[in-house]
Amino acid sequence: MATRRGVGHRLVRAFVLQAVFISLTALLGVLAARFILQDVLIRKALEEEAGYYLQQLAASPGAPLPQTVNLRSYRISDDRPAPHHLRDLGPGYHPLADAADGYSAVYVAQSDSDRLLFEFKGERVSDLTFYFGLVPLAIVLVIIYSATWIAYRLSQQAVSPLVRLAQQVGTLDPLRPSSEIDIDDASDLEVRVLTQALAQYTDRIRAFVERERAFTRDASHELRTPITVIRLAASALLAEETLPPRTLKQVRQIEAAAGDMAELVDVFLLLAREADQALTPDPVDVEHVVSTEIERARPILEGKPVRVAYTCTAVPALFVTDRVLSILVGNLIRNAFLYTQRGVVSVTLTGDGLTIEDSGVGISEAEVSSLLKPFQRGTGRGDSTGWGVGLTIVKRLVDGFGWTLTLNRRPGGGTRACVGFQPPERAS
């Protein structure tokens, strides 16, 4: 979608279009007036002049022809031929726009014995049109342009508080207490009302975020103690050599589940913090994190004919905590292992991203957007565990650090997950 222009730009465009429209209308009006002057008024004047003279000629056969500054009259007979440029003209009105001395018009009338020619010299018409048409037009246009400029400046002053308000809203961060909306008290009433409404809305958002952080922090903190107790108890039971195999397997499952819960608590604590608090002055060992997460997830492939292919062509420089990267990479690798029943899972680390491809059931286009929502799980999963929040956590981490996450179906079957790393600024 194309970006829309601001209010100021639309005001300029509106006033410019208005000025152009008025100018064209006024210019067309002058041209129309010139046409009416030349082809209507002059024609009417010549017809009336010829009719009046024919009346005088009928009353007084020796009446002289009218001769003025702009009118020349000729009586044409066999011994008095017409001027060269007026020959071969029939009765009626004849405009001579291509006359050598400018615009001219001729009216030919017929008396009882002679033919009469009335020629109007129109070289003054253009001058009159200029002085009485274009000069007033120029004055009117100057007045219109001045009024348009004044109106634009007044309109700009009227919308400038809205523009400043929009700029402040664009940089507003509800998560930062120092981020406030500050508009001059002399602003219009509507702007002050809008500013107050936005400030109240921002306060509500800030309070909501703070409550959400407090709940996540407190709940995660309170969960640490029982999880630690469960893990210690499971470790103590595993140290017993007299446990039967079935019980030993169940205790290991308890220990693994407690470990997953501890990791989930760490995720909640991490998501409750600002993204820049997870930055580090030194780059994380990305290759080590990826290798570790692959090994941690290998028990999922136990009993499956699945091969893991790990390739590292380059190591990106990421200034984040290893815990952030472990959570992100671990969720993607575990998903690939869980959804793959046979074949191969390829993990490729490059200088600008991480790609994980599996040969599982794959995902459809309709599932891509839904899988990034909480409590949504894909179809064809090999086991029944999980709550469908892994990809949601990955998406929140990716968005928080300015990275990219792409999920799509491989042409040959399976799923491809790509994380594009755009390293955040290094922590000071």
**Mean pLDDT score, 285-292:** 92
Confidence band (pLDDT; 50, 70, 90) for 374?
A: very low
Q: Which of 321, 347, 231, 207 is nearest to 267 (CA)?
A: 321
Task: For CATH 1.10.287.130, list the domain ranges present in the chain.
Answer: 175-273
Confidence band (pLDDT; 50, 70, 90) for 344?
A: very high
- Secondary structure string (H, E, C) spanning the chain: CCCCCCHHHHHHHHHHHHHHHHHHHHHHHHHHHHHHHHHHHHHHHHHHHHHHHHHHHHHCCCCCCCCCCCEEEEEECCCCCCCHHHCCCCCEEEEECCCCCCCEEEEEEECCCCEEEEEEECHHHHHHHHHHHHHHHHHHHHHHHHHHHHHHHHHHHHHHHHHHHHHHHHCCCCCCCCCCCCCCCCCCHHHHHHHHHHHHHHHHHHHHHHHHHHHHHHHHHHHHHHHHHHHHHHHHHHCCCCCCHHHHHHHHHHHHHHHHHHHHHHHHHHHCCCHHHHECCCCCCHHHHHHHHHHHHHHHHCCCCEEEEEEECCCCCCCECHHHHHHHHHHHHHHHHHHCCCEEEEEEEECCEEEEECCCCCCCHHHHHHHCCCCCCCCCCCCCCCCCCHHHHHHHHHHHCCCEEEEEECCCCCEEEEEECCCCCCCC
Tokens representing 148 are 């348009």
How far is residue 74's CA from residue 82's CA, in Å, rounded to a whole number?
7
The CATH-assigned architecture of domain 175-273 is Orthogonal Bundle (1.10)
Confidence check: pLDDT of 335 > 70 = yes
Confidence band (pLDDT; 50, 70, 90) for 97?
A: low
**Residue of higher predicted confidence among 69 and 344:** 344
pLDDT of residue 201: 79
**Mean pLDDT score, 150-164:** 71
pTM, two decimal places: 0.49
Confidence check: pLDDT of 98 > 70 = no
What integer best gives the mean pLDDT of the chain?
76
pLDDT of residue 428: 46
Could you tell me which residues come within 8 angstroms of residue 101 by beta carbon, excluding any fewer than 6 positions away? 121, 123
**Residue of higher predicted confidence among 309 and 111:** 309
How far is residue 392's CA from residue 240's CA, in Å, rounded to a whole number?
39
- Secondary structure string (H, E, C) spanning 247-288: HHHHHHHHHHHHHHHHHHHHHHHHHCCCHHHHECCCCCCHHH
pLDDT of residue 198: 76
pLDDT of residue 375: 42
Residue whose entry in the numeric block shows the structure tokens 């949504």: 376
**Mean pLDDT score, 91-96:** 82
To which CATH superfamily is domain 276-420 assigned?
Answer: Histidine kinase-like ATPase, C-terminal domain (3.30.565.10)
pLDDT in tens, 306-330: 999 999 999 988 888 888 888 889 8
pLDDT in tens, 255-286: 877 877 777 777 667 666 655 556 677 888 99
Q: For the CA atoms of 105, 110, 113, 115, what is the dihedral angle to 10 degrees?
A: 20
- Of 18-22, 185-189, 226-230, 412-416, which range is least confident? 185-189
Query: Which of 100-109, 351-360, 393-402: highest mean pLDDT?
Result: 351-360
Task: For CATH 3.30.565.10, list the domain ranges present in the chain.
Answer: 276-420
Confidence check: pLDDT of 333 > 80 = yes
**Mean pLDDT score, 373-400:** 62
**Residue of higher predicted confidence among 362 and 236:** 236
pLDDT in tens, 26-45: 777 767 766 666 667 778 88
**Mean pLDDT score, 239-256:** 83
